[in-house]
Amino acid sequence: MTTKPPVRVAVTGAAGQIGYSLLFRIASGDMLGKDQPVILHLLEITPALKALNGVVMELRDCAFPLLADIVTSDDPMVAFKDVDYALLVGAMPRKAGMERGDLLGANGGIFKPQGEALNAVASRDVKVLVVGNPANTNALIAQQNAPDLDPKQFTAMVRLDHNRAISQLAEKTGKPVSSIQNITIWGNHSSTQYPDLSQATVDGQPALEQIDREWYESSYISTVAKRGAAIIEARGSSSAASAASAAIDHMRDWALGTPQGQWVSMGIPSDGSYGVPEGLIYGFPVTCSGGQYQIVQGLEVSDFSRGKMDATAQELSEERDEVRKLGLVK
């Protein structure tokens, strides 16, 4: 028997593909712990409410002991009322041949009203994760439209890239994923992202001493950065279960903390660390404790890394300029 009071977790796009993998894991305690009851707040557009009702029926049929209640709505002012966590997933996914930036106009309009609604009715401590693409700039839009919340409460998901980076390195070295630590995804959740192995270790030894530099520079980085497109090509639709799993990882680590001596990658507002323009929502290496994240400081940045980190920052600056022109951010 659990005695903790329930927390409220909003998920948007709850009847979509990612939602279908995500909700059951949140309700079973994978995200916030096996002793933490949750009330799910599910937001969908009006035409999807019938399908959402089917998902709710299935959630109830699981008889999850931790699932205290479910709220559904097509109104963000209802769905976000008093929520402690908000996973903003609902958006149009890209199709084969598109870059995530192509979705800026289509999806940007979703995140302004959602930011405003979070500002108006969510818990003052709400932790927000944006999954819907282009995730970093959508997070910026939501954040900029929620002036009464701390900007640090808005984050974007680069954890799927982080997990992909671990898995690709594990495969190459023939070592288990659990032997790999301290990979960083710098920058945008896009093909300009920089999966950085310069600090990574495999079995406690430097990763770059265990692989060929040529493979790292010419194959590994682009395989990780273009994995989303490869999945769309293979599956005919964008990644869903792995995206949901990464969202669980991101929120769990933020809420409950990262393991001692290890870091993860989160898209967070830049404070100017590592020369990244302030305010951009940019992937950084972070540790989390007590429900807060901190950027890992003092890492050495080579010229190779500098070039890649600047290129992805440049893309994010251009995305910010574009959504400024659309009146979505200041």
Ligand X SMILES: O=C(O)C[C@H](O)C(=O)O
Ligand Y SMILES: NC(=O)c1ccc[n+]([C@@H]2O[C@H](COP(=O)([O-])OP(=O)(O)OC[C@H]3O[C@@H](n4cnc5c(N)ncnc54)[C@H](O)[C@@H]3O)[C@@H](O)[C@H]2O)c1
- Quote the DSSP letter at residue 218: I
Give every CB contact of residue 233 below 8 A, 6+ residues apart in sequence: 96
For ligand Y, give the closer residue by CB, 107 or 202: 107
Site residue total, ligand X (CB under 6 A): 11
The span from the CA of 295 to the CA of 285, in Å, is 6
Q: Which residues contact 276 (CB under 8 A, 6 or more apart)?
A: 270, 282, 284, 309, 313
DSSP conformational letter for 187: B
DSSP 8-state class, residue 259: P
Q: Choose, from 41, 162, 189, 250, the residue flagged as catalytic.
A: 189
Cβ(315)–Cβ(192) below 8 Å: yes
Q: How far is CA 292 from CA 111, 125, 144, 255, 300, in A?
A: 23, 11, 20, 7, 24
- Candidate residues 10, 11, 15, 328; the one interacting with ligand Y per rule CB under 6 A: 15
For 12-70, the DSSP string reads ESTTSHHHHHHHHHHHTTTTT-TT--EEEEEE--GGGHHHHHHHHHHHHHTT-TTEEEE
Residue selected from 8, 81, 100, 162 as contacting ligand X according to rule CB under 6 A? 100
Say if strands 194-196 and 184-186 run parallel, antiparallel, or are unpaired: antiparallel
Closest CB to ligand X among residues 243, 280:
243
Which 92-121 positions form the footprint of ligand Y (CB under 6 A)?
Answer: 92-94, 110
Residue 231 binding target from ligand Y, ligand X, none, CB below 5 to 8 Å by type: ligand X
Q: Which stretch binds ligand X (CB under 6 A): 62-70, 117-125, 203-211, 224-232?
A: 224-232
Which span (28-36, 79-87, 142-150, 226-234) binds ligand X, by CB under 6 A?
226-234
According to the binding rule CB under 6 A, does residue 195 interact with ligand Y? no
Contacting residue, 133, 137, 144, 145, with ligand Y by CB under 6 A: 133
Among 108, 228, 267, 269, binds ligand X (CB under 6 A): 228
- 238 lies in the site for ligand X, by CB under 6 A: yes
CB of 159 to ligand Y, least distance (A): 7
Residue 88: CB minimum distance to ligand X, A: 14
Catalytic residue list contains 162: no
Pick one of ligand X, ligand Y, none as the site partner of residue 70 (Cβ within 5 to 8 A by kind). none
Sheet containing strand 281-289, strands side by side:
67-73, 38-43, 7-12, 85-88, 127-130, 154-156, 264-269, 281-289, 292-295
Characterize 284-315 residue by residue with b for buried, 16 or more Cβ atoms within 10 angstroms of its Cβ, and e for exposed. Answer: bbbbbeeeebebbeebeeeeebeebbbebbeb
Q: Which CB, 18 or 309, lies closer to ligand X?
A: 18
From candidates 23, 37, 44, 276, binder to ligand Y by CB under 6 A: 44
Two structure tokens written together for 220: 């590994």
Nearer to ligand Y, 66 or 111 (CB): 111
15 binds, among ligand X, ligand Y, none (CB under 5 to 8 A by kind): ligand Y
Per the DSSP assignment, residues forming a β-bridge with 266 are 284
Strands 292-295 and 281-289: antiparallel
Q: Among ligand X, ligand Y, none, what binds residue 44 when CB lies within 5 to 8 Å by partner kind?
A: ligand Y
Give the residue, chosen from 133, 153, 265, 270, that forms a contact with ligand X under the rule CB under 6 A.
133
Active-site positions read 189
Q: Contact positions toward ligand X, by CB under 6 A?
A: 93-94, 100, 133, 160, 228-229, 231, 238-239, 243
Q: Which residues bind ligand Y (CB under 6 A)?
A: 12-13, 15-19, 43-45, 48, 89-94, 110, 131-133, 135, 157, 160, 189, 238-240, 243
